[in-house]
């Protein structure tokens, strides 16, 4: 099965002014103007770390407000094995494949963080997707890689996956490449080019890729241990790559300001070199940009630790996810422990201005219930509508970390919530009528993690 043919040599082109032939949208503005409001969401659902004897699944959530099943899980694709810990996932194609005539944004690539198993799901029938292929972990281990994380399509129709460990779950990690038939092609990067890995984002018009750092799977799998931070087992560096050559050109050590740099987001404008990284443990947002041929990075948003009677140390905000609106005007993020989802105006990328926030769940959230349902953990994975008017989030981070900081998440399951956003005034309001309850499923409560739309979203589309 192949979605497309490779482009001919004669198709090399000037990306600044060209016809759009492949999947997605010609420009970020075209995505805003052409996309219909989301009616379906794909959400990772998992049972790892719970007293539930069932495999993880892909949940199909009804987001059509005119539907009788609005805000309900209307279908699930169960994985064939238990214990995968489905985590982040992505599309086989996005707007960066603009010259791949015939390619469709149709297949979801769904890795198992703990199993290193990679699942391919066909979404031709949007509300009735089908598992079509499984890449077993042995095929991944052959390339001395494990623990797949971020999935991005790349311009030639292939798929690149960041891998956080070697075959034994130790360091170093790397990148695994799949072809458009979802076969393992091998490593994308020279082995040993990086030590730690986590998220990545590429900006092909600038010939740059940025990767961030978590830790070795054997370090973070059991849960968080502050001693591991003091022993230098967690990352604090940003790695800037030559995108075409696949080698690192520059590394920035963020030090104490950048402990555990997780999600990486360039602005959507393909000419831009500006972007942000959320440093989870330092509770900072790092702004990076290129000038004079070098990248520079510095904290531009800082969240203070807070005292809590149940903790013997101040509680960090723990910034676990960020995203940029498709028009590059707003940066949204989540502070999982403090229980806050926030919105900053980044019209001036170097000087973000706080626009609004919602305090909900977590250790300090003002809102503790929605529709009578207890909100236990704070906001975690975010997704924004392409028009920037609806922000959704889930509440699970990682099974062992959930069980450590919010053990009730395993007993009650996660929720998916929504805020209405007014981009004109820079405000958000919680939609108290919207609640997707992952605690009410036939096999038992489940955790909910990353969210994607069938027509692309603010964390998966890249422009060539």
Looking at every residue in the chain, the average pLDDT score rounds to: 94
pLDDT value of position 11: 41
Radius of gyration for the alpha carbons in the chain, expressed in angstroms and rounded: 20
Q: Given pLDDT bands bounded at 50, 70 and 90, which one contains residue 186?
A: very high
* 353, 373 contact by CB (below 8 A): no
Distance, in Å, from the CA atom of 134 to the CA atom of 149, rounded to the nearest integer, reads 16
pTM of the model: 0.95
Average pLDDT score over residue span 229-253: 97
* 390, 420 contact by CB (below 8 A): yes
Average pLDDT score over residue span 156-172: 97
pLDDT digits (tens, 9 = 90+) for 257-288: 999 999 999 999 999 999 999 999 999 999 99
Encoding tokens for residue 378? Answer: 């704070």
Burial of 307 (0-12, 13-18, 19+ CB in 10 A): exposed
DSSP label at residue 150: E
- Domains in the chain and their CATH numbers? 28-452 (2.130.10.10)
pLDDT value of position 382: 98
pLDDT digits (tens, 9 = 90+) for 286-324: 999 999 999 999 999 999 999 999 999 999 999 999 999
Measured between alpha carbons, how far is residue 130 from residues 40, 59, 218 in Å?
15, 12, 32
pLDDT value of position 420: 98
The answer on pLDDT for 57 being more than 90 is yes
Return the number of other C-beta atoms located less than 10 Å from residue 33's C-beta.
11
The answer on pLDDT for 65 being more than 50 is yes
Cα–chain center distance at 441: 24
DSSP letter string over 21-64?
-SSS-SSHHHHHHHPPPP-EEEEEEE-TTSS--S--EEEEEE--
pLDDT value of position 98: 82
Q: Provide the CB-side half-sphere exposure for 195 (13 A, CA).
A: 9
Burial of 36 (0-12, 13-18, 19+ CB in 10 A): exposed
Distance, in Å, from the CA atom of 355 to the CA atom of 148, rounded to the nearest integer, reads 35
Q: Provide the CB-side half-sphere exposure for 346 (13 A, CA).
A: 30
pLDDT value of position 12: 41
């Amino acid at each position: 099965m192949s979605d497309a043919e490779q482009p001919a040599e004669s198709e090399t082109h000037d990306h600044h002014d060209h016809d759009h032939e492949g999947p997605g949208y010609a420009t970020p503005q075209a995505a805003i103007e052409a996309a219909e409001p989301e009616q379906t969401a794909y959400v990772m659902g998992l049972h790892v770390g719970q007293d539930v004897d069932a495999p993880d699944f892909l949940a199909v959530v009804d987001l059509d407000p005119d539907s009788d099943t609005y805000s309900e899980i209307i279908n699930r694709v169960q994985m064939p094995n238990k214990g995968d810990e489905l985590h982040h996932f992505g599309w086989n194609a996005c707007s960066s494949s603009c010259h791949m005539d015939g390619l469709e944004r149709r297949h979801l690539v769904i890795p198992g963080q703990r199993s290193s198993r990679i699942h391919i799901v066909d979404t031709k029938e949007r509300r009735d997707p089908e598992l079509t292929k499984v890449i077993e972990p042995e095929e991944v281990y052959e390339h001395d890689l494990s623990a797949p994380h971020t999935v991005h399509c790349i311009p030639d129709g292939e798929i690149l996956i960041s891998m956080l460990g070697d075959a034994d779950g130790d360091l170093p990690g790397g990148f695994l490449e799949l072809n458009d038939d979802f076969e393992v092609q091998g490593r994308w990067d020279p082995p040993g080019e990086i030590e730690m890995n986590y998220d990545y984002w590429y900006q092909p018009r600038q010939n740059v890729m940025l990767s961030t750092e978590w830790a070795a799977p054997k370090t973070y799998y059991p849960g968080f241990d502050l001693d591991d931070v003091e022993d230098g087992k967690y990352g604090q560096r940003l790695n800037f790559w030559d995108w075409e050559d696949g080698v690192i050109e520059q590394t920035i050590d963020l030090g104490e300001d950048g402990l555990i740099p997780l999600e990486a987001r360039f602005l959507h404008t393909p000419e831009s070199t500006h972007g942000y990284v959320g440093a989870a443990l330092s509770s900072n947002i790092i702004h990076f940009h290129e000038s004079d041929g070098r990248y520079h990075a510095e904290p531009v948003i800082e969240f203070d630790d807070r005292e809590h009677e149940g903790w013997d140390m101040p509680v960090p905000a723990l910034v676990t996810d960020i995203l940029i609106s498709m028009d590059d005007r707003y940066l949204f993020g989540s502070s999982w422990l403090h229980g806050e989802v926030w919105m900053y105006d980044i019209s001036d990328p170097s000087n973000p201005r706080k626009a609004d926030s919602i305090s909900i769940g977590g250790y300090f959230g003002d809102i503790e219930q929605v529709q009578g349902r207890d909100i236990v953990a704070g906001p975690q994975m975010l997704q924004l509508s392409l028009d920037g008017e609806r922000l959704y989030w889930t509440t699970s981070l990682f099974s062992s970390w959930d069980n450590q900081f919010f053990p009730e998440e395993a007993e009650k399951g996660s929720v998916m919530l929504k805020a209405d956003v007014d981009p004109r005034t820079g405000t958000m309001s919680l939609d108290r009528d919207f609640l997707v309850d992952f605690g009410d499923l036939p096999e038992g409560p489940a955790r909910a993690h990353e969210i994607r739309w069938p027509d692309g979203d603010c964390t998966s589309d890249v422009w060539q």
